[in-house]
Chains A and B, each alone.
Chain A
Amino acid sequence: MRRETQHVLLVLLGGALLRIAADDTHLRYVKPSHRWLLLAAGAVIVALAVVALVRDLRGHAPADDHDHGGSHVPWLLLAPVLVIALVAPPALGADSVNRAGARNAVVQDGDVFPPLPADPVLTVAEFVQRAAWDTSGSLDGREVTLTGFAVRRGAAVELARLTIACCAADARPNRVRLVGDLGDPPQDTWLRVRGSVQTGSATAATGYVPAMTVAAVEVVDAPPDPYEY
């Protein structure tokens, strides 16, 4: 690959990183704090290409450019640019949850949780944690509000949300089985549900998937940050 092609490619690559960091697109792929790394990396990549371009034009190009004709691998850098620019794949959803098997991947990080506030709004992950481990029964008889997307498992409807630590490649699902009058939400519809846990439903036998008796459900827009962290 010629040097000038490499320069153009690097400008596009850096531009793609800057582009997804400029708005909420990067939240589909990485955690929010990664944004600053993306901005910095994008700026550095563009700067490296521009510096090399200017120096080449002034006749400073390295005489012994040993990569000529050898490798076609740099072409692969075009792949993420094209995928980001043309497809911009959406955040992971029901397909990814279904691939992860039928269990919730829970880690016990306590057995007594602080009491819930009045009119509690919880993350799906915290709801699952409390339902599975809390010996003080803080969820019992309380109506809580959860936001997530619908996952269909046969006739059953589950509310799910993915938790990421770094990027979407390490996403782990948390899901709640919804019981009650839900209508017929298609897969990947974002829902806000209000309801209360069925005590003792999140056990090893159910794969730590708690059941929730739903009092109210409404369809909502997908939030800008689709994951929980």
Chain B
Amino acid sequence: MPVVTITARAPRITSLHVFCAVLVLAILARPLITEAASAPALRTAATVFVAVCVQALPFLVFGVLLSGVIAAFVSPAALRRMLPAHPGAAVPVAGAAGLVLPGCECASVPVARRLIGQGVPDAAALTFLLAAPAVNPIVLVATAVAFPGEPRMVLARFLGSLATACVMGWLWQRAGRAEWIADRARRGTPRRDGENRWAVLAETARHDLVSAGGFLVLGAVAAAALSVLVPPEWMDALAGQLLLAIVVMAVLAVVLALCSEADAFVAASLSMLPLLPRLVFLVVGPAVDVKLIALQAGTFGRAFAARFAPATFVVAILCACAAGALVL
């Protein structure tokens, strides 16, 4: 009998125990960690890592709060009334809605997920996901400030990004499959009768923050590592080669994972390149980068990210080139 009691009361190791163990270990090993982090390259990477996390977290918090507000206060029926019934027409409306969410790309992922959970057509929600970080007023003003004397750059960026968002929306509507998006993203908020709406808001926001935050950190790790690994000589070798410059700038936009409010300043500083590759950098960056891919994989599932990210990459390059040919 006593034996049974002992097994029944044997302590289970839970994540809280592991958590405390990790903390204690980290504090004990602090001298070792500081020693290891004193190499210049590692220190630079650590600074960039913290900078990307610290820069993006407030916008992610803003996004999850908005997601909570939608879950608690906006019913699926009200959302359906706001959008045109025909999904093809809903896509450009969703793209235009991106104009009014002033934030970085991190804010738009949880919001797009919540829109899908509340029954908005996938194509429209994905268009919003791509348009919101790229065409909002803050980003456009930042672009105008970064490119003094080149106002056409602002128009080209606006057209290229809006076109990318709408084309991806229509593409998803024609070729996308509902099952590519993980079930967990579709789950609406279970609303129990009589439950306080503020409690729904808080729980939705908390849940979204925990699930998306880890992926944001993953993206920040990738961006920090690549920021010390990408050789700067790439830039100097590109000056005379337009096609190669376009491809390299598109890849750089993905690996550097800059905030959409800041990328224009970096693009402006690469003055050895012509305007078109820099426009590609500005259109690709807010649509697809390593931290967005990580966030999307975590929110919508890996099957989604594996298809959506490469398709967006190609569409964004093509739309940017078209907008550049038209405007620049």
A contacts, CB < 8 Å to B: 1-2, 4-6, 8-10, 13, 17, 20, 26, 28-30, 34, 37-38, 40-41, 44-45, 48-49, 51-52, 55, 60, 62, 64, 66-67, 71, 73-80, 82-84, 86-87, 89-92, 94-96, 99-101, 103, 105-110, 164-170, 172
Within 8 A of A (CB), among B14-51: 14-16, 19, 22, 26-27, 30, 33-34, 37, 40-41, 43-44, 46-51
A82 to B215, CA, bound (A): 17
Are the C-beta atoms of B47 and A73 separated by less than 8 Å?
no
| Distance between Cα atoms of A172 and B43 in the complex (Å) | 17
Known: A87-B34, A166-B261, A172-B265. A95 touches B43 (CB 8 A): yes
Known: A89-B50, A106-B271. A41 touches B61 (CB 8 A): yes
Q: Nearest chain-B residue to A62 (Cβ)?
A: B203
- Contacts A28-B47, A29-B55, A167-B55 given; indicate if A49 touches B236 (C-beta within 8 A): no
Chain B residue contacts of A77, Cβ below 8 A: 210, 213-214, 217
* 18 interchain pairs, CB-CB under 8 A: A2-B15, A6-B210, A10-B209, A28-B50, A30-B54, A51-B206, A52-B202, A80-B50, A86-B27, A89-B49, A105-B271, A165-B266, A169-B55, A169-B223, A169-B257, A169-B258, A170-B265, A170-B266
Is there an interface contact between A109 and B148, defined as CB atoms closer than 8 Å?
A: yes
A49 proximity list for chain B (CB < 8 A): 206
Q: How far is the CB of B6 from chain A (nearest CB, A)?
A: 24
CB-nearest residue of chain B relative to A188? B40
Secondary structure call for the B interface? helix
Chain A residue at minimal CB-CB distance from B202: A51
A2 to B13, CA, bound (A): 11
Known contacts A109-B148, A172-B269; is-contact A78 B46 (Cβ 8 Å): no
Q: In this complex, what residue of A is CB-closest to B256? A: A169
Q: How far, in Å, is A223 (CB) from chain B's closest CB?
A: 17
A62–B262 alpha-carbon span in the complex (Å): 39
Q: Which residues of A contact B286 (CB under 8 A)?
A: none
Contact A26–B217 (Cβ < 8 Å): no
Which residues of the partner chain A approach B51 to less than 8 Å between Cβ atoms?
A: 28-30, 167-169
Whether A101 lies near B214 (C-beta < 8 A) is: no
Residues of B within 8 A of A29 (CB): 47, 50-51, 54-55
Q: Which residues of A contact B34 (CB under 8 A)?
A: 86-87
Q: How far is the CB of A41 from chain B (nearest CB, A)?
A: 4
Minimum C-beta distance from B300 to chain A (A): 14
Q: Which residues of B lie under 8 Å from residue A73 when comparing CB positions? A: 211, 214-215, 218, 298
Other CB < 8 Å A-B pairs besides A6-B206, A10-B209, A48-B209, 7 of them? A29-B54, A34-B55, A38-B57, A51-B206, A84-B50, A89-B50, A91-B47
User: How many Å from the CB of B294 to the closest CB on chain A?
Assistant: 9
B contact residues around A100 at 8 Å (CB): 232
Q: Which chain A residue lies CB-closest to B205? A: A48
Within 8 Å by CB of B259, from A60, A84, A91, A170, lies A170
Of A66, A74, A169, A172, the residue contacting B210 (CB under 8 A) is: A74
Count of B interface residues, CB-CB < 8 Å: 79
Question: For residues 260 through 275 of chain B, which have their beta carbon under 8 Å from a beta carbon of chain A?
Answer: 261-266, 268-272
* Chain B residues engaging chain A, CB cutoff 8 angstroms: 14-16, 19, 22, 26-27, 30, 33-34, 37, 40-41, 43-44, 46-55, 57-59, 61-62, 65, 142, 146-149, 184, 187, 190, 199, 202-203, 205-207, 209-211, 213-215, 217-218, 220-221, 223-224, 227-228, 232-233, 235-236, 256-259, 261-266, 268-272, 298
Contacts of A45 in B (CB 8 A): 57, 61, 209
A87 to B224, CA, bound (A): 15
B269 touches A75 (CB 8 A): no
Per the bound structure, the CA–CA distance linking A33 and B32 in Å amounts to: 34
Interchain nearest-CB distance for A110 vs B (Å)? 8
| CB-based contact B190/A64 at 8 Å | yes
CB distance from A105 to the nearest CB of B (A): 3
Task: Name which residue of chain A comes closest to B29, CB basis.
Answer: A86
Judge whether B54 and A17 touch: CB under 8 Å.
Answer: yes
Given contacts A6-B210, A13-B213, A73-B211, contact A170 B258 (CB under 8 A): yes
Contacting pair B55 A166 (CB below 8 A): yes
A164 to B47, CA, bound (A): 13
Q: Give A114 to B209 CA distance when docked, in angstroms.
A: 48
CB distance from B261 to the nearest CB of A (A): 6
* CB <8 Å contact, B259 and A5: no
A residues near B205, Cβ cutoff 8 Å: 48
Name the distance in Å between A203's Cβ and chain B's nearest Cβ: 14
User: Given the complex, which residues of A lie within 8 Å of B264, measured CB to CB?
Assistant: 165
- Whether the pair A109, B149 counts as a contact (CB closer than 8 A) is yes
